[in-house]
Structure 1
Amino acid sequence: MESNIILIALGAAVVGLVLGLVISKVREKSNASQLTKNAKREANSIISKAKSEGESTKKDKIFQAKERFLELKSEHEQVILSREKKMGDTEKRIRDKESQISSELSKYKKLSTDFESKIKDYDHRLEILNKRKEEVDKAHKGQILQLEVISGLSAEDAKHQLVESLKSEAKNDAMVFLQDTMEEAKLTAEQDAKKIIINTIQRIGTEEAVDNCVSVFNIESDDVKGRIIGREGRNIRAIEAATGVEIIVDDTPEAIILSCFDSVRREVARLSLHKLVTDGRIHPARIEEIVKKTQKQIEQEIIEVGKRTVIDLGIHGLHPELIKTVGRMKYRSSYGQNLLQHSREVAKLCGVMAAELGINPKLAKRAGLLHDIGKVPDAEADMETPHAILGMQWAEKYGENAEVCNAIGAHHDEIEMKSLMSPIVQVCDAISGARPGARRQVLDSYIQRLKDLEEIAFGFSGVQKAYAIQAGRELRVIVESEKVSDEKAGNLSFEISQKIQTDMTYPGQVKVTVIRETRAVNIAK
């Protein structure tokens, strides 16, 4: 009984368990179906939303595509219109050309017709001309035969006599021309000879002028002379050997003379002596040391002078060797005129003149500065070559402009001038050299001309004072009022001007001013 109850209980438990399982499965199935329904609803909503968004995107893309199509269509239409316009213009030009060609062709046909008629006319005239030429030749031969019979000479003999007469006449003309040329050469030979000699002296180094060959070294007392000379003259010999300068110690008080044509050597000797005297230690070893240092100092100073010069003139890109040559101009002279100052002045004049003429002023300055570099030769320079040609060769060697090289070589007419720069440099060189007081020869003649002007004025009675002013372009004469009246003053001015015009040779004109002054002076007490 108890076992039956147990079995019943077990059966009920199993049934309950099965029912629980069935119920749980049913619940899970219902939950799963619910989840499936929810998922389907969400999927349907997403799909509907995607469809709506797709439709809107599709509409937008279609709209954009239509807009782009319209734009491309309008652009294509514009291109087609422009092409059609071009084609129309081209067709119009072609039609114009065709009409022009047809008109030209008609003209050409007309000209060809005229030309053919002219050719026929020319052939006809040529035929007539040939016939007439034959007739003239026959007549000429007949006249020659008649002349030979009349003169008793053949044509060859007559030709020979004519040639001989022409030869003698040409010989006489040549002798006259040669005589005139010789007389002109005699008149200018002395002037040209002086120019050539002075130029040669300046370049070769002969001791010509004291101003160019001598420097004076001042000392505080004559006791220093003995220290410079040294024991048995060893110090002075050491200085002369080291510098190449002759040192003259004479009776001149507180001064020693340094003699050498090379200005650089003289400057080295002067500075070396100054350092030695200032230092007080004067012996051969010290002299050699000081001279070497001074030489380096002078070389550096030459470079600095060249650089400063080109900077002041606004010249750029000059070769270092040419800059050094410009610096060396400081220690050279031309007819007593410092070469560097002369070249700077020529450069400035060239710049001004070139600017007035509308030419590159910087290039003109460059040519003016370098025009006399041939006067500063180095050890390897050919002394027989004119300085203008030598300077042109150096400028070409260091890559200067062709116009600058031609201006350097042509400023003394050694070569042909190829640009307007060359006569500008030549004229400015002459202006700088001819300025009163610039060069020794010009200064002497200038002073003499002023004296001659004043002496002419003093040659007339009643003249109290005479002054030549404005570089000899004006003569002011002060007369005594008691001896010369106002009317006579005017006559005196005329007479003096006529006397100057007759007796003197001068450039330009001279203004003569006669001043007559009357003063009445009283003193109140």
Structure 2
Amino acid sequence: MSSTIYIVLAAVLSLVVGIVVGRLLAGKANQGHEAEAKARAQQLLADAEQQATRTRDERIQQSKDKFRTLKQEWEQESRRQKQALEQELTDRRATVVEQEQAIKKLTDTTQRQLEQIQRKETELDATRERIEAQSQAQREKLEAQEEKRRATLETQLAKLQQREEEVETELEETRHHLNEQLQQVQAKLETISGLTAAEAREQLVESLKNEAQIQASSYIKDVVAQAKLSATKDAKKVVLETIQRTAAEHAIENCVSVFNIESDDVKGKIIGREGRNIRALEAATGVEIIVDDTPEAIIISGFDPVRREVARLSLHLLVKDGRIHPARIEEIVAKTRKNIDEEIVEIGEKTIIDLGIHGLHPELIKMVGRMRFRSSYGQNLLQHSREVANLCATMAAELGLNVKHAKRAGLLHDIGKVSTEEPELPHAILGMELAKKYKEHPDVVNAIGAHHDEMEMTAMISPLVQACDAISGSRPGARREMMESYIKRLKQLEETAVSFDGVLQCYAIQAGRELRVMVNADNVSDERAQELSYEISQKIEKEMQYPGQIKITVIREMRAVAYAK
């Protein structure tokens, strides 16, 4: 509307300006031109009014169309929102109905369970009363039987006492009679033999003593010969019994790991609802997880040390993360197992680099890394193998043998202990087969297979590996034996041997595995030397505890000295 007024005003203003300009330019023109100008001005004014009317009608129509469009859009939006609210209300009503049904179902289930519990409690009360009644009846019956038995025993005891008195009287009479007969016989023997009873007793004892010594020596020789025949069978029995008695500590160390936690509240998260988390963890790792009353600790049990390490690290990550559920457990275990495999390879590669060994097969490198997680008699297997490798290299260099082959054989001599192939084979034979499979040198293969005398030694480095293995395993402190107890055991061995008559000196050698006893040749005969070695071994077995076996060697040296003047 305002634009139309502006147009009209513009048109009027232009008309006025045109008139003024015409008047200024024309001056006082003639009357004909003035009339024509007026007519033209009226025409322009009429055109301007028509144009203004058309423009106003167009603007009004556009405003009506826009209003109608906005009204339609608002109505559509209102209908859409109304439909959405109705749908949401319908969904909420359906959800409420479902929840009400679930609550009703849960209430019914709870009610049934309560009824079952009450019924079971009633049955238990009835059973308890019945058992108590039966127990009371049995107790009364047993008391009656006990009273009857007590009366019977008292009667029998009285009879036995009476009979004992009678027997003692008879024995006293018999003893008196026998003493009289013995004195008579002794007097007759003294008269016949011309010897007193004391002299005859001394001669008899001396004769029996000499005969007993001869028979004992013969018997000992027979027993030793028989023992040598059955040595293999008895040795196996002794080894099995020893393993059964002493393997508990090593078995616990080799089969159990402890995972420490900050609070016992974490145990509930690890167990999970109805134990689903701990079952998922055991299934993923292949170990047994024991959650008991031990404060701030969880026990991880398993024969495979790598699996135990995977389980321990997985538990650490799960507890640190806080999200413990079956899917997360499988993800963490898979990630940890991958990290452990990579760590095993890194350990193997670092070991062969430190030892200067080249060209080792990747599978053997991986097995060397697995030694890090294995122990033998409390001694870490990788540390033991590295020590044997260094000892072999040193000895081979001194003897002018192949140092590289000796070092490889020393590192790989126990590789069969970490292999999962054919576990029924001895670890030396299994390690030899693995070395042969991965193209190791024949000398190295023979040294691995023969380091426990399970096959013939054909390579020069084979006895080196055997000796270095024994040195690493038997040195003080290597296998759970402290230096103080080691020295104390050696001293006790020597003191035990010195305590026997005729022993001059004794020496414990080979880390206490052999005892050499020096005896006085004037006081100890050859037969006595054999008996002495047996007696010392028996005393050591009774009074001492020691690993393996101890060899007792009695040395008797006879020296004849004369001087020519």
| TM-score normalised by length of structure 1 | 0.50
